[in-house]
Structure 1
Amino acid sequence: MSGTDHITSQAVSPPPFTSSSDGIVVVDKPDGMTSHTVVARIRRLAGTRKVGHAGTLDPMATGVLVVGINRATRLLGHLQLADKSYDATIRLGASTTTDDAEGEIVSTAPVDGVTSEAISAAVEGYRGEISQVPSKVSAIKVDGRRAYERVRAGEEVALKARTVTVSRYDVLDVRPDADGISVDVSVDCSSGTYIRALARDLGADLGVGGHLTALRRTRVGSFDLSAAHSLESLAQSFDWLPIADVAAGTFPRYDADDTQAAAIRTGRPLPGLNLAPGQTAMFDPDGTFLALYEPHGPLAKPTAVFVS
């Protein structure tokens, strides 16, 4: 399996989880809960403090949150998690302080002249590589403080535009009513893309304002909703993906012999290995995941070692 495939629930059940197990849990985050709270719940369920997540979701958002446990927290930074997918609902006809439904409405406009064709044409301009100004209530730091902290303190925040990639931005449904228009969209994008900003900018382009009313992340890298579990189900049955399975499902695999495995465990370079470009997951003869290595000329060198 390559990093472009989706990692789903295992056909073969993993071994029983213990507090010293290393692995990944894919959570279907509920509405109204912070990503930090999800991590705290997983810490209690896993019985360890060594828990971290990849890719924060806002409290109003639901969907895929990839959580690493013990040594797998270090693996999160090496996984191919830059590409994400979302289903969202944009509300046209009103702008808010936060670019989503949790903020206060700051302006409204009639949407009588906004057609489905105009919406589709405006969306077209946000496909591909674009320059996007993040939402003011983002976690981006401005002079050492989070932007959202400064906004909540009443400060005016101006964030710089950044380049992001929106590889898919499809309009699924357009539902006008007396007060505005709800637009259901599906988006594939690079890490750092703000869906709230897409909603804000779409409304601005159409001259009526816009904000996000619903957001569900359906995929992070190769992890999608088919691998995700609710916190309630995890409390009943702690479904997890062992670190070895995640590594083998994400990177090319190399099975070392005993001599190579001894060198890998101490992070020594290996000569004469014809590894593929990028990172390769290195395993010992017993199937234990040892490290990630990558080619450096005639040598293979470690980027991360996961055993001591």
Structure 2
Amino acid sequence: MIMIFLANKPINISSNHFAQKLGRKLELKLGYSGTLDPFASGALLMACKKHTKLFRFFNLEPKIYNATIWLGANSPSFDNENISLHNVEELNLKQLQDAFSHFQGSITYTPPKFCAKKINGKRAYELARNNEDFNLNPCVMNVKAKLLYYSHPFIKFELIASKGTYVRSYAQLICNYLNVVGTLSSLQRVSEGNFNKFKEYNAFDSVNLAENYYLGDIKDILLGKKLDISNFSNKKYGIYKINLGETFSIIEINDNISYLLNKIEK
């Protein structure tokens, strides 16, 4: 049975619709780690519903994207919808290099109004499409950007980014710095943290926690009994994964020992 895998989402489909469609094909109820824009393609980490609880224990950062800016194209949503075209003179390579060098590291920005953030219970993109007036709070993204090539009017770049980064907003920062009109015409997510190959992943190995060892009777954990710290090889406070054979558990050692998740299939 497939439990955790990295899927290659195609363009022009929402992450939710893709999960439902793929789930029907695989006869599974699927969840995913983080929304990928409908117009974007690429890496979308997915899992059967009971394994989505593990996502918070995975290393899902940074996220790596390949993106293309289309100079002279203007879109209210900063992507490839409702485009109007304008003349933009060809830029020199030094201008582009300066722009990408300027926007590195920690950057404060405002997310695009056509995004999935909620405003008073409604998605921002729903409000934007209804021409409703609203403001989004500034956010911070941490990025490392690299100019890949420039063939006028297209600029291709790589962005290594923290969770929650809007690549469309990054593209607008570049365009504003260059004082040109432009929009993000294509976007592909290459990887999410440790997940960079389109394949199935082992749940136990994917959990980004130190392994601890229970020295008592393993049935104590399988039966969800109260545990004593003296029976663990590592007695330091923290969160650990415990190998139970065909399954595993995640426990927290503190003043008391608690089960965070128990008897998870690998």
Report the TM range for the smaller structure's normalisation. 0.7 to 0.9
* Other-structure match for 1:119: 96
Mapping of residues 1-80 of structure 1, within 5 Å: 17=1, 23-49=3-29, 51-80=30-59
* Other-structure match for 2:122: 145
Distance between the aligned counterparts of 1:256 and 1:174, measured in 2? 56
Q: Structure 1, residues 240-281: CA drift from partner, whole Å, max 9, x if none?
A: 33433433xx33223435525523652745414326775322
* SS of structure 1 residue aligned to 2:241: strand
Q: Which runs of 4+ in 1 moved over 4 A?
A: 275-278
Compute the displacement of 1:282 (Å).
Answer: 1.1
Residue 283 of structure 1 pairs with residue 237 of structure 2 = no
* Other-structure match for 1:209: 181
Q: Structure 1, residues 184-227: CA drift from partner, whole Å, max 9, x if none?
A: 10111100100010111111111112211111111101101x2x
Residue 182 of structure 1 pairs with residue 161 of structure 2 = no
Preserved contact between residue 98 and residue 104 of structure 1 (Cα < 8 Å): no
* Other-structure match for 2:109: 132
Number of positions where the alignment pairs a residue of Structure 1 with one of Structure 2:
263
Mapping of residues 152-231 of structure 1, within 5 Å: 152-166=129-143, 168-176=144-152, 181-224=153-196, 226=197, 228=198
* Other-structure match for 1:243: 203
Distance between the aligned counterparts of 1:118 and 1:153, measured in 2? 37
Distance between the aligned counterparts of 2:103 and 2:140, measured in 1? 12
Distance between the aligned counterparts of 1:151 and 1:190, measured in 2? 25
Q: Structure 1, residues 97-131: CA drift from partner, whole Å, max 9, x if none?
A: 010112333x735234x321111111122211110
Residue 302 of structure 1 pairs with residue 259 of structure 2 = yes
Distance between the aligned counterparts of 1:42 and 1:74, measured in 2? 20
Preserved contact between residue 292 and residue 302 of structure 1 (Cα < 8 Å): yes
Q: Structure 1, residues 157-189: CA drift from partner, whole Å, max 9, x if none?
A: 3211111111x200010111xxxx211101111
Preserved contact between residue 265 and residue 305 of structure 1 (Cα < 8 Å): no
Structure 1 residues 266, 70: closer, same or farther in 2, change over 3 A? same
1:262 to 220, 225, 228: 220
Distance between the aligned counterparts of 1:223 and 1:277, measured in 2? 28
Unaligned regions of 5+ residues in structure 1, if any?
Answer: 1-16, 230-239
CA-based RMSD? 2.5
Q: Structure 1, residues 58-88: CA drift from partner, whole Å, max 9, x if none?
A: 1221111111114212112322213200011
How does the TM-score come out when normalised to structure 1? 0.77
Percent pairwise identity: 24
Preserved contact between residue 292 and residue 305 of structure 1 (Cα < 8 Å): yes
* Other-structure match for 1:13: none
Structure 1 residues 71, 270: closer, same or farther in 2, change over 3 A? farther
How does the TM-score come out when normalised to structure 2? 0.88
